[in-house]
A and B are shown apart, each in its own frame.
Chain A
Amino acid sequence: MIELSVAINDKYYANSPAMVLKQLEFNVAPGEFVAIIGPSGCGKTTLLNMISGLEACQNQQIFCNGKAVNGANEHHVSYIFQQPRLMPWLTVRENLQLVLHSPQAGQIDRLLQQVGLAGTGDYYPHQLSGGMQRRVSIARAFAINPELLLLDEPFNSLDLPTATRLRLLLIELCQQRNTTVIFVTHDLREAIYLADRIIFISNSPSTIIHQAVVDLPRPRDESGAQELEWQANLMAKYPNLLAGSVG
């Protein structure tokens, strides 16, 4: 179980004078599912990179269970990137073996079965469709039993049924293991469906403009009546929220 506390001030792009994150401060409770929504180019990926330890800046206080993250996160963190990022020269099985330090017998087959890819272990990534590759990257993320899971628009550019199925899978796997999740998206409906809390951020240099706890009972419905009503209420109150302002 991971408790996260994030405070970032004045993060600039690497090799560029442009500021991307101005001031972001929020906490994430153990086992909480937080969605982050912001217009494109507002630094959502940069934020995930900083939490994971891929990037750092001068004015940051990011703590993972009380331990500072500064260029390296010592906990079991999984990161599902926008692209699957599988090693093309390794088979599906070898890709999963890569991240496991001592794979137990049958563990990889079980993982593949869970993401609906039983029997594809000996294929190379290029022999799989985009949706299948993405499922392999999800299997890889869950292979290490993450305490913290970071997702960067993982279901973008997938067809609707595949995305639906993968969202269900994500909910299922997270509930099984009580993972703390930070989920970046620009799709409000997806966020309402998945998250316990939604954080809205502005255009870069970005700040937090609004936080909303999604107080809907689970299991939810992707386009159920109460979910749509919740969304309509929020939009009525803050019509420009998705464009990055509360004005």
Chain B
Amino acid sequence: MSKSFFRPKEQLNQQALAPEQSLKKQPQATFSYIGSSAVLVRTLVMLVLILVWQTTAWFVASPDLPSFILVVESLSYHLSEGEMVANLSITLGRVLISFIISMVLGVMIGIIMGTHQWVNKLTDSLLIIALNIPALVTILLCYIWFGLVEAAAITAVVINKIPTVVVMIREGARVVDKDLLAVAKIYKLSASKTFFKVFLPQLYPFIMASGRAGLSLIWKIVLVVELLGRSDGVGFALNTLFQFFDIAGILAYTLAFIVIIFLVEALMFRPLDRIIARGSGND
């Protein structure tokens, strides 16, 4: 009876309506094809970069530019002999805690500012100030006021990060589809259902963007915080290496960092991307 109402190009009919069979297979196939070629391209780019580095180091032949092989040797030395694993995990812990705190607070403040005009008017200039205060100033002030303790370090990072999250989430909350919220009101959805099923999904792309941008900023600030006032972590280790002028060591830490960043991207952000893109037609 309803056969004629389906779009012909989708080739839907009552027999072929099992979801796995008709529509979804083809996009998935193209996706994995693009995925594998993207991995290939990415690996190639990395290999070329390493090659350029290695040959440049050979030509320059200066202790100021250690070769890739030297850096890898230094990396394996620090991993097995030094405190690299301990330092990395301490830094990672700090990054994780300040990331979670600043995302949760930033998203909450951003939503409130985006949905309440008067709150926005009241706090807008405060936000601009917070956005533009140099990271170094907040770090120094936190250490002076709270002492050289862990809480001061985390607070300094969080204060630096929250404003950028707020700015992005606020824009998202401003453009939330009022029509869909009207649906929620008509069908008398509970407040939590309205928030989690209707409101928040519209902010996911904004949360992802601020999460990605946020993580990169937090890495950088955590290192400065460690350099200035902690006696462990990657920032502290880099400072020590700097004093010995151990350039290979500094680059070894950088290399370890890059590997971790790629892992975080592949294990955390990509799967999240796929969940968030569901229903958008690009999944």
User: Does B bind A?
Assistant: yes
- Which A residues form the contact surface with B (CB < 8 A)? 52-54, 77-79, 81, 83, 85, 87-91, 98-99, 116-120, 122-127, 129, 131-132, 140, 144, 161-162, 165
Bound CA–CA A15/B149 (angstroms): 52
Cβ–Cβ < 8 Å partners of B280 in chain A: 88-89, 126
Contact of B180 among A53, A87, A117 (CB under 8 A): A87
- The answer, yes or no, to whether B81 is at the interface (CB within 8 Å) is no
Extra contacts besides A85-B180, A131-B5 (4): CB < 8 Å: A87-B197, A119-B17, A127-B281, A162-B5
A-B contact count (CB 8 A): 78
- The answer, yes or no, to whether B121 is at the interface (CB within 8 Å) is no
The reply to whether B198 and A87 contact each other, CB–CB distance below 8 Å, is: yes
Cβ–Cβ < 8 Å partners of A126 in chain B: 279-281
Query: Known interface pairs A90-B279, A126-B279, A165-B5. Does A98 touch B19 (Cβ–Cβ under 8 Å)?
Result: no
Query: Known interface pairs A77-B186, A124-B279, A126-B281. Does A116 touch B197 (Cβ–Cβ under 8 Å)?
Result: no
Query: How close is A51's CB to chain B, nearest CB, in angstroms?
Result: 11
Cβ–Cβ < 8 Å partners of A90 in chain B: 197, 279
Query: How close is B183's CB to chain A, nearest CB, in angstroms?
Result: 5
Contact of B1 among A53, A77, A116, A144 (CB under 8 A): A116
Query: Known interface pairs A87-B198, A87-B201, A123-B23. Does A54 touch B5 (Cβ–Cβ under 8 Å)?
Result: no
User: What are some 7 contacts across the A-B interface (CB < 8 A)?
Assistant: A98-B189, A116-B1, A116-B5, A119-B17, A126-B280, A129-B5, A162-B5
Size bin of chain B's contact surface: 20 to 34
The reply to whether A99 and B189 contact each other, CB–CB distance below 8 Å, is: yes
Query: How close is A52's CB to chain B, nearest CB, in angstroms?
Result: 6
The reply to whether B17 and A120 contact each other, CB–CB distance below 8 Å, is: yes
Cβ–Cβ < 8 Å partners of B180 in chain A: 85, 87
Which B189-210 residues sit within 8 Å CB-CB of chain A? 189, 193, 197-198, 201, 204
Stretch from B6-14, B107-115, B223-231, B239-247 that touches the partner? B6-14
Q: Which 5 A-B pairs have the closest CB atoms?
A: A116-B2, A119-B17, A124-B279, A99-B187, A129-B7
Bound CA–CA A82/B51 (angstroms): 60
Cβ–Cβ < 8 Å partners of A89 in chain B: 201, 204, 278-280
The reply to whether A129 and B281 contact each other, CB–CB distance below 8 Å, is: no
Contact of B5 among A52, A99, A161 (CB under 8 A): A161
Which B7-65 residues sit within 8 Å CB-CB of chain A? 7, 10, 14, 17-19, 23
Contact of A78 among B6, B7, B179, B186 (CB under 8 A): B186
Query: How close is A83's CB to chain B, nearest CB, in angstroms?
Result: 7
Cβ–Cβ < 8 Å partners of B187 in chain A: 78, 98-99, 140, 144
- The answer, yes or no, to whether B125 is at the interface (CB within 8 Å) is no
By DSSP majority rule, is chain A's interface helix, strand, loop, or mixed? loop
The reply to whether A54 and B186 contact each other, CB–CB distance below 8 Å, is: yes
Bound CA–CA A128/B280 (angstroms): 12
The reply to whether A98 and B193 contact each other, CB–CB distance below 8 Å, is: yes
- The answer, yes or no, to whether B4 is at the interface (CB within 8 Å) is yes
- The answer, yes or no, to whether B182 is at the interface (CB within 8 Å) is yes
Query: Known interface pairs A98-B197, A119-B18, A123-B19. Does A129 touch B10 (Cβ–Cβ under 8 Å)?
Result: yes
Query: How close is B196's CB to chain A, nearest CB, in angstroms?
Result: 11
Cβ–Cβ < 8 Å partners of B4 in chain A: 161
Cβ–Cβ < 8 Å partners of A83 in chain B: 179
Bound CA–CA A124/B19 (angstroms): 10
The reply to whether B279 and A119 contact each other, CB–CB distance below 8 Å, is: no
Which B214-240 residues sit within 8 Å CB-CB of chain A? none
Cβ–Cβ < 8 Å partners of B183 in chain A: 79, 81, 85, 87
- The answer, yes or no, to whether B212 is at the interface (CB within 8 Å) is no
Query: How close is B3's CB to chain A, nearest CB, in angstroms?
Result: 9
Bound CA–CA A144/B185 (angstroms): 14
Bound CA–CA A131/B6 (angstroms): 8
Query: How close is A241's CB to chain B, nearest CB, in angstroms?
Result: 31
Bound CA–CA A99/B187 (angstroms): 6
Cβ–Cβ < 8 Å partners of B2 in chain A: 116-117, 165
